[in-house]
Copies of this chain bind each other. A is one copy, B any other.
Amino acid sequence: MTISMYGMTVPFFTRMLTNLLAIMDKADANAAERNFDTGVLVTSRLAPDMLPFRSQIQIATDHAKGCVSRLAGQPVPSWPDDETTFDELRARLNKTLDLLATVKPTDLDGSDTRPVTLKLRSGDVTLSGEDYIVQRALPNFFFHVTTAYAILRHNGVPVGKSDFLG
């Protein structure tokens, strides 16, 4: 009748990031077929003042590693945002999946009520672990994963919602 904090975080992150890898493989194949370099996709945006594909992947993975680290009461690993190619972005996705694979359900025990402090531009915000998941971690994560997908889709990569859902 309840779900563990692990169950409400890691399976989402693992599933959606794995799906993104498969979506990027389809983008790769499509770029080869249409004879363009995937570097074009790396810097593509949905609006001139929105972040490019590269940043969507960087921030999605940041939210995944940030969420499990914060809930486990561990420091959030800091990774440079220096990826400029599909292969480098794939490596970042795989690095995140590797990190997620090390998280044990018991690492997140008790984190629903444990306070999580976020350093936002507007100042520090402290939320319970549960509120952090509902108000910040999952909406942010899905925002960037969906936007990454939408940028590829907008550029004609032949993917559909079944690729997104996995």
Across the interface, which residues of B come within 8 angstroms of A130, CB to CB?
Answer: 3, 7
**A4 touches which one: B1, B142, B147 (CB < 8 A)?**
B1
Question: Do A165 and B136 touch across chains, with their CB atoms under 8 A apart?
Answer: yes
- Binary CB contact string for chain A from 108 to 148 against chain B (1 if under 8 A, 0 otherwise): 01111000000000000000001001111011101100110
Majority secondary structure, A binding face:
helix
Count A-side interface residues using an 8 Å CB cutoff.
39
Q: What is the CB-to-nearest-CB distance from A148 to chain B, in angstroms, rounded to a whole number?
A: 10
**Contacts known (A2-B112, A7-B130); A46 close to B142, Cβ less than 8 A:** no
| A interface residue numbers (CB < 8 A to B) | 1-5, 7-8, 11-12, 15-16, 46-47, 50, 109-112, 130, 133-136, 138-140, 142-143, 146-147, 149-150, 153-154, 156, 161, 164-166
